[in-house]
Structure 1
Amino acid sequence: MAESVMTQKVRVGAETGSVLLEYFLKALLVAGLCELILYRLVSRLGMHLSKVAKEYVVVEYFLRGASAIGFALMNFSAILVFLALLVLLFYKMNGLLARALDRIVVPMVSLLLALTATFLLFPPRMLGAVVYNGLTLVLLWTLVIQYCRANPAPTARALALCYGAGVSGWLYYQISTTTYGWLGIVSTPPLVHEISRLGEALMVVATVLVFAVYSGFTFRTKNRQQRRRSLQFAGAWAALFLALLVMDGVLELFDPALARNIRQASQGIGWIFQMGMGYTFYLPFALYVAGLLFWSYTVIKQINMGRRAGYGLVLMFIAGYALQLSHLTLFVIVGLLLLVNDGRIDARETVGQMFPAGMPDRPAAAAPGVS
């Protein structure tokens, strides 16, 4: 009788946590995407449209409204990512999403949350920023190792390593420059710009590897409809990529004046994404758009399947490359936790168990996230 009551309590606790996680992640997904568009992208248009805004009051009100709504959504998403991390910690501490290295991950995530809350109340000095970014770096690579242990497929491990190395490029930039400033050293840290650019390039590579690991995209299928869709997607992607590549460089050979005009226009578009995603756009613009297409196709499919990996991939990449705000760092951590603990997010199917019936205890080795 006592065991039955205890089992009932465990199931109720698991159901409550699962419902909370599902709703928090869905709300966080919507709030994060809207904040990215309205605050980090659209509101930055004001610097380009300042003259237009002076002439047309509607444009000025639109930009002000977008900025205000985006700022509110930024605060809302920061609260949601805190709550999502707390629910994930609840899962971990109750053994519902147990993984190797959790004895290291759970205390580090808890410490990161505590530091974030403390620094919101008491803004950190240079040493505090170094400690925060250093802890983030160690936690990042612990989660990467967790993911690689759970997913032995080469493409999956390449995805985790590329993403981890990409984010590490930004963290190295922040840690090294802040440390030099704290110590009063005037010179530039060694290879700081080169490593930062390498990290940005690896982030773009990671968006392509996301497609290879989680999209289920193949030409080997015997299903004619799926093969036709694969051909349509490949054709549309190839046409757009080649068109952007021609716009980016080949036109220089035939019409330098037209090439310069088009490049100026693309730089304006790139500047908007630079402010939103943190890219410096030293690579051809076509490569960034290609990565965006690969990422978009994959996350839409994964979210439609109701997988945690889909939500994790969204949070990891809408955080961008430049993690200038603390809630963006937490986006990365939540995203990696969801990737490591992939499974169905549907609350009715996850009650009392880590994965639904019929799903292996770990993501498939050959192609995780593909059903």
Structure 2
Amino acid sequence: MIAATNPTIERITGKLSDQSLLFRYTIKLVLIVSFSELILYRLVSRLGVHLSKLAQEHEWIIPTFTALTQIGQWLLNVVAILLFLALSVAAVNRVASRGFTGLNRIVIPCVALLLLLTVGFLLVPPAFLGSAIYNIVALVALICLMVEYLSTHTEWSHRAMGITYLLGVGGWLYYQIVSTIYSFIGTVAAPPLVYEAHRGGEGLLVLSSILVMWAYGQGVSFRTRNQRQRRRAIWFWATSISVFTVMLFLDYLLHRYDAGMASNIRKAADGIGWIFQFGMGYTFFLPFAFYLTGLFCWSYTVIKLLNMGRLAGYGLGLMFIAGYALLYSNLTLMVVLGAMLLSMDRQRRDATESAPATNAPMVSRPDSLAGGHI
């Protein structure tokens, strides 16, 4: 007698289609409106300031950028409302599906406290102590969510991406918390390791945006038996490495070819860096090729995951749209919501529907040869 085991299959759980109708449309709106706010408010408004000299020659520039900035400010308020709704629904779903146990005992109170503090800061502007408490609560929530993510994702690519992102955002939050506390105390001593944490956090966040493709952007791997996919992977990586190498030494090559052209391109790059510095918090202390590589890897992976309907695409999209410098409360809430969505996307082993009977004999017992008569 041999006990047959039920075969199992792996499937992705936590897809957006598995969620409620309210949650699905809220998450979609959050991503769309957040991306629009990033373009119109945090980037285009800074671009308008950068084009102040050009605006003296063209009168249409000032009213155009003013209108776009006003739309971006309106979208900023819409994003805040949608984030409140999305975080509330996500917290209720976590409690309903898992109960108030485990990490939920920390995550749910932290999310609720962040929402309450955000509302309170609308009525009373935060002082040094309030900002420090807000960032500490956000850091605790992110640590718990990433611990949950690392415990449910055992692949090294996922864990490397999650750890680097947590350390990257943690570098910014540490910089904000320690600097705010020292300002609140009124000491003239320099906070410990704030400069190193700030620069290191930015570098780790850029690295995390590159590792996103390793973790989720499958389809351009050499480890495939499909010759067509292998040729596509060879073409993709050869082109990517070539472009990255050229961009890494572009300034040197242009300077050797034409010093004036190299100077003009360098000034244009500084202007672009200034826009992204004020819009997303990147200081561009690393070579520009690393930032562009991270942008391409992140964009490819997020678009692919969104087409598959996976919550990881929405989570990664929100986490990196928020940028590095979380200067606004809605950006912090965006990162927390993105981490919650990322932890909801996981693989689960399910038993197949047709399970064989257990303790079944290897040879079935035949009917009586004499038809039941002797």
* Short-chain TM bin: 0.7 to 0.9
Question: Mind listing any 5+ residue stretches in structure 1 that lack a counterpart?
Answer: 1-14, 344-358, 363-371
Among 192, 195, 207, the residue aligned to 2:209: 207
Q: Is this contact kept in 2: 1:215–1:301, CA < 8 A?
A: yes
Which amino acid letter does the alignment assign opposite residue 360 of structure 1? R
Which amino acid letter does the alignment assign opposite residue 135 of structure 1? V
Matches of 1:123 and 1:167, distance apart in 2? 24
Q: CA deviation at 1:252?
A: 4.7
Matches of 2:303 and 2:234, distance apart in 1? 18
Q: CA deviation at 1:240?
A: 2.7
Among 36, 39, 49, the residue aligned to 1:37: 39
> Aligned residue for 1:50?
52
Matches of 1:250 and 1:336, distance apart in 2? 41
1:123 aligns with 2:125: yes
Q: Partner of 1:44: helix, strand, or coil? A: helix
Matches of 1:285 and 1:125, distance apart in 2? 36
> Aligned residue for 2:298?
295
> Aligned residue for 1:71?
73
Q: CA deviation at 1:115?
A: 1.3
Q: What's the Cα RMSD here? A: 2.2
Equivalent runs, 1:174-193 vs 2, <5 Å: 174-193=176-195
Which amino acid letter does the alignment assign opposite residue 204 of structure 2? L
> After superposition, what is the alpha-carbon deviation per residue over 1:217-251, rounded to whole angstroms, capped at 9, x for unaligned?
31222234433433343244223322321224454
Which amino acid letter does the alignment assign opposite residue 56 of structure 2? K
Q: Is this contact kept in 2: 1:17–1:90, CA < 8 A?
A: no
Matches of 1:225 and 1:255, distance apart in 2? 41
> After superposition, what is the alpha-carbon deviation per residue over 1:238-295, rounded to whole angstroms, capped at 9, x for unaligned?
2332232122445456655543332222111111121222100100011000000010
> Aligned residue for 1:28?
30
> Aligned residue for 1:144?
146
> After superposition, what is the alpha-carbon deviation per residue over 1:270-323, rounded to whole angstroms, capped at 9, x for unaligned?
111212221001000110000000100100000000000000000000000000
Q: Which has the higher contact order (CA 8 A, sep 6+)?
A: 2
> Aligned residue for 2:62?
60
In the superposition, the TM-score normalised over structure 1's length comes to: 0.84
> After superposition, what is the alpha-carbon deviation per residue over 1:25-83, rounded to whole angstroms, capped at 9, x for unaligned?
11111101111111111111122111222221221122111101111111111111111
Among 229, 238, 259, the residue aligned to 2:241: 238
Of the structure 1 ranges 81-90 and 180-189, higher mean CA displacement relative to structure 2 is found in: 180-189
Which amino acid letter does the alignment assign opposite residue 137 of structure 2? L
Pair member with larger Rg: 2
> Aligned residue for 2:171?
169
Matches of 2:349 and 2:334, distance apart in 1? 25
Q: CA deviation at 1:361?
A: 5.7
Name the structure where helix makes up a greater proportion of residues: 1
Matches of 1:156 and 1:131, distance apart in 2? 30
> Aligned residue for 2:89?
87
Which amino acid letter does the alignment assign opposite residue 68 of structure 2? A
Q: Partner of 1:55: helix, strand, or coil? A: coil
Cα distance change, pair 97–308 in 1 and its aligned pair in 2 (3 A): farther
In the superposition, the TM-score normalised over structure 2's length comes to: 0.84
Matches of 2:80 and 2:41, distance apart in 1? 14
